[in-house]
Amino acid sequence: MVTFQFVPYHDMQHLSSSKRIQKLISIVKNEKIVVMEGRLRKEEEAGLIEETMNSVSRAFPGIEIGVIYPESGKLQGFEKLKNNVVNLLLGDRQGFTVVGPASIVKKIVRNPGKLELFTEEAKGSKTTKRRRKK
C-alpha cells in the first residue's frame, strides 16, 4: 500500500532549514510519500540530498524528489505584479514538492504542469511483514 502525507506550508514556514530537512526525512523513513505545499529553497534541496546520502543503508535506500514550479514566466503586466506581491506577503507557497522513499518511488518524471510518480511496493515493507505474521 502506498501512503501519502500532505504537509501544509504553515507546518514548515517557521522551521529552520535543518528542521525542515529532518521533518521530511523522518516522514520518508516511515515509508510515506510527502506532498508538501510550496517548495524548498535550492540550498535546502541540496541539504536534503546531502543528509539523505549520509543516511543511506539497507533499511533506507534514499529518496526521490520532484518539484512543480508555477509557470510564472507566462504571466504579464498586472498579473506578474500581483504574483510578486503575493509571494512577498505569504511566502514561497507556489508550487509543491514530492519526496518519497526510493524503495517505493522508482522514478519521478516532471513534465510542464504535472508530475508522474512511478511506484512499487517496497519489498520487506512494514505492511508486507505484518501480512506474513498472520
In tens, the pLDDT along 59-114 reads 899 999 998 876 655 667 777 777 777 767 666 667 889 999 999 999 998 887 78
CA atoms within 13 A on the CB side of 92: 12
- pTM of this structure: 0.77
pLDDT of residue 129: 44
**How is residue 134 written as a grid cell?**
498472520
φ and ψ of 50, to 5 deg: -65, -45
Spatial CA neighbour of 3 closest among 129, 121, 132, 123: 121
φ and ψ of 45, to 5 deg: -60, -45
**Secondary structure (DSSP) of 59-104:** S---EEEEEE---GGG--THHHHHHHHHHHHH-S-SSEEEEEETTT
* Residue 127 reports pLDDT greater than 60: no
- Model confidence pLDDT, tens digit, residues 1-38: 889 999 998 899 899 999 999 999 999 999 999 999 98
